[in-house]
């Protein structure tokens, strides 16, 4: 068992990569050494870590020599090229891109939902889409009790999901509007400040976006429930951090709102905030910086025989990306699975 692995963070200068480093430090991950990698233009950048700084190295084909574990957050094309090289070097990869998620030989894991899938990894483990993660940690404990038939989800996703450039674009557009200047749109096709864009990722031939179909397909894989019908509408909103979701669930069996609250109160990684009379419900501004997924507005849907409506919020950079990856790494250590060829 490797109790003190050498860890590399690939894409360390991006929003998620920096969050990965922060969470490794906050959770006191037992690494012998932590190294940071990025593109050539970021080489030499210094990132605070623990009581010192990590100097960013250029990612090359030889970067994985001596690494036990690599947390990838550098985009699908980078992952497709470098993840197999890492595995060949004896390094386990936890990848945050969409490159490997639907590969049948790669486990797609949310530790609160399907940690058992880590046991059959072959060197690469996929981190799910941010919106999928926060939804399935709420769906799974309900599915275990009443069995889900259909899910209709509408997401309200923060700009940080697009990265640092999108955060800056929202900041710049707000300033431009208040200073009576023309709004510049570089990251998104339309103004995002004081606006909502029903467009995340590219549109496909069926007029759904790639983001929407990620939620459909990943939910089924993670929950081992191909029979669940899922449909999604993904919307970008002018919020910096924290994705929100309106989720309608149809069940095969009866489950009341009271029963759902009781189940979710006991669910790992979930906090119930549900007292509408006191204006208590999940908000993105309160979820930002937090590790848990928050759920509220739990109520029965009387348009179907057995249905519930929920409002789910989580920090997309933490539980939606970096934290989930680190939790996977922690489980690999605990279960002695930090080795290629499981």
- Which sequence positions are flagged as catalytic? 130, 243
Q: Starting at the edge strand that comes first in sequence, how are the strands of the sheet with 33-38 ordered?
A: 57-58, 33-38, 6-10, 69-72, 92-95, 124-126
Burial class (CB in 10 A: 0-12, 13-18, 19+), 154: middle
CA gap 245, 316 in Å, rounded: 12
Return d(Cα 150, Cα 200) in angstroms, integer.
Answer: 22
Smallest CA-to-CA distance from 152 within 258, 234, 252 is with: 234
The H or E element containing residue 171 is: helix 164-178
Distance, CA of 167 to CA of 43 (rounded, Å): 23
Which among 165, 52, 101, 111 is positioned nearest to 334, based on CA atoms? 111
CB atoms within 10 A of CB 30: 13
Cβ–Cβ < 8 Å for 17, 9? yes
Q: How far apart are CA 213 and CA 236, in angstroms?
A: 16
Pairing assessment for the beta strands 293-300 and 270-272 based on DSSP bridges: parallel
């Amino acid at each position: 068992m490797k109790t003190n692995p050498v860890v590399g963070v690939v894409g360390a200068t991006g929003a998620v990569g920096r969050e990965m480093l922060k969470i490794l430090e906050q959770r006191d991950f037992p690494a012998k050494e932590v190294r940071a990698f990025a593109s050539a233009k970021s080489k030499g950048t210094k990132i605070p870590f623990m009581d010192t700084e990590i100097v960013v190295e250029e990612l090359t084909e030889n970067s994985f020599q001596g690494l036990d574990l690599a947390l990838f957050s550098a985009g699908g094309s980078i992952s497709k090229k470098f993840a197999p090289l890492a595995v060949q070097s004896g390094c386990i990869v936890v990848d945050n891109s969409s490159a490997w998620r639907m590969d049948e030989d790669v486990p797609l894991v949310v530790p609160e939902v399907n940690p058992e899938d880590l046991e059959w990894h072959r060197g690469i483990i996929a981190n799910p889409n941010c919106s999928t993660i926060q939804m399935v940690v709420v769906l799974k404990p309900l599915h275990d009790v009443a069995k889900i038939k259909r899910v209709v989800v509408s997401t309200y996703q923060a700009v940080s999901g697009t990265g640092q450039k999108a955060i800056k674009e929202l900041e710049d557009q707000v300033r431009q509007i208040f200073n009576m200047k023309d709004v510049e749109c570089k990251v998104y096709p339309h103004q995002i400040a004081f606006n909502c864009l029903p467009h995340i990722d590219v549109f496909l031939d069926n007029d759904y976006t790639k983001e929407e179909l990620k939620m459909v397909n990943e939910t089924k894989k993670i929950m081992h429930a191909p029979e669940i019908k899922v449909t999604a509408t993904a919307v970008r909103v002018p919020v910096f951090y924290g994705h929100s979701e309106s989720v309608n669930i149809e069940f095969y069996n009866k489950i009341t709102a009271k029963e759902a609250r009781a189940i979710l109160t006991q669910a790992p990684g979930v906090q119930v905030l549900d007292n509408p009379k006191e204006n208590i419900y999940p908000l993105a501004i309160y979820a930002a910086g937090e590790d848990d997924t928050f759920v509220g507005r739990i109520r029965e849907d009387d348009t179907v025989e057995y249905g519930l409506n929920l409002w789910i919020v989580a920090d997309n950079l933490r539980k939606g990306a970096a934290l989930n990856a680190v939790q996977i790494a922690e489980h690999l250590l605990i279960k002695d699975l930090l080795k290629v060829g499981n």
